[in-house]
């Protein structure tokens, strides 16, 4: 039975990204004031876009909602792209066409799946003009808080978002170091004949490196910790 009253929750979301940076660093922020308690959430990513950060902020906001509680959730975002995707019926059209040709389809599908799974939640979303000046206005204040949380310059750490394109794992035999570089630089790097191409690099993680080395002559050295591994994303 649907209760007469629901818990009203307003959540502010925002995303940012330096798309011109070498690492394309970004961040998202979520701010919520409910029951007199503030809830803050922020995450940093690299190799991302502003749109993806806005979408990840929305996803995180929805995931904060308890699916077993009757709620009325109002998302406030300064992203016209995200808000209009709901308002103009784009998401319904994308679902009907099986998400074919939709950019960031995997994120959209996850957002829709999380919303649909919360059957006790009434979902609503609206746009706000960002960077408002009147902080006495609770909507402007909430947006400003989300904006500050999303600032990519202030994130504590960064997680890779999108898979890399055109990068590979390399082994420098002389120094016994495994590193990541652009695949097109192989001949330039291998002038001394001591660089081994290990395979494509999509995610700069130990897990992917494990898969690349498993079954090769380097695996024992890697597994025993004798192989020096550089995962520094600053080199990318």
- Residue 156 or 36, more confident: 156
pLDDT greater than 50 at residue 235: no
Averaged pLDDT, 109-115: 98
pLDDT greater than 70 at residue 222: yes
pLDDT greater than 50 at residue 25: yes
Q: What distance separates the 2 farthest-apart alpha carbons in the chain? A: 76
pLDDT greater than 60 at residue 164: yes
pLDDT greater than 50 at residue 69: yes
- Residue 232 or 194, more confident: 194
Q: What is the pLDDT of residue 233?
A: 59
Averaged pLDDT, 153-177: 94
User: What is the rounded CA–CA span in Å between residue 159 and residue 21?
Assistant: 15
CA dihedral 91, 146, 204, 49 (to 10 degrees): 50
Percent with pLDDT over 90 in the chain = 90
φ and ψ of 27, to 5 deg: -160, 160
Question: Using 50, 70 and 90 to split pLDDT, how confident is the model at 33?
Answer: confident
Mean pLDDT (the chain, rounded) = 94
pLDDT one-digit tens code per residue, 150-162:
999 999 999 999 9
pLDDT greater than 70 at residue 60: yes
Averaged pLDDT, 12-31: 94
- Residue 90 or 4, more confident: 90
User: 175 Cβ partners below 8 Å, 6+ apart?
Assistant: 228
Q: Where do the structural domains in the chain lie, given as residue ranges?
A: 7-160, 167-235
Averaged pLDDT, 216-235: 86
Q: What is the pLDDT of residue 236?
A: 43
User: What is the rounded CA–CA span in Å between residue 176 and residue 121?
Assistant: 55
Q: Domain 7-160 falls in which CATH fold? A: Nucleotidyltransferase; domain 5 (3.30.420)
Q: What is the pLDDT of residue 234?
A: 52
Burial of 233 (C-beta count, 10 Å sphere; 0-12/13-18/19+)? middle
pLDDT one-digit tens code per residue, 117-143:
999 999 999 999 998 899 999 999 999
User: What is the rounded CA–CA span in Å between residue 47 and residue 27?
Assistant: 11
């Amino acid at each position: 039975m649907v209760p007469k009253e629901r818990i009203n929750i307003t959540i502010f979301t925002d995303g940012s990204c330096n798309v011109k940076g070498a690492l394309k660093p970004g961040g998202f922020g979520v701010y919520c004031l409910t029951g007199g308690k503030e809830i803050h959430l922020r995450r940093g990513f690299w190799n991302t876009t502003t749109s993806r950060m806005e979408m990840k902020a929305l996803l995180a906001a929805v995931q904060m909602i308890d699916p077993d509680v009757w709620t009325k959730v109002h998302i406030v975002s300064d992203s016209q792209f995200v808000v209009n995707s709901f308002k103009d019926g784009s998401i319904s059209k994308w679902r009907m066409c099986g998400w074919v040709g939709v950019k960031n389809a995997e994120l959209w599908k996850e957002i829709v799946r999380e919303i649909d799974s919360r059957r006790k939640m009434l979902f609503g979303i609206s746009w706000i003009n960002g960077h408002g000046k009147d902080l006495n206005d609770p909507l402007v204040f909430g947006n400003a808080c989300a904006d500050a949380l999303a600032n990519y310059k202030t994130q504590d750490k960064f997680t890779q978002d999108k898979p890399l394109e055109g990068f590979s794992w390399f082994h420098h035999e002389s120094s016994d170091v495994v590193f990541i570089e652009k695949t097109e630089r192989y001949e330039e790097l291998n002038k001394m004949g001591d660089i081994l191409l290990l395979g494509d690099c999509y995610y700069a993680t130990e897990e992917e490196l494990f898969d690349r080395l498993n079954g090769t002559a380097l695996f024992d050295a890697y597994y025993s910790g004798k192989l020096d591994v550089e995962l520094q994303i600053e080199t990318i």
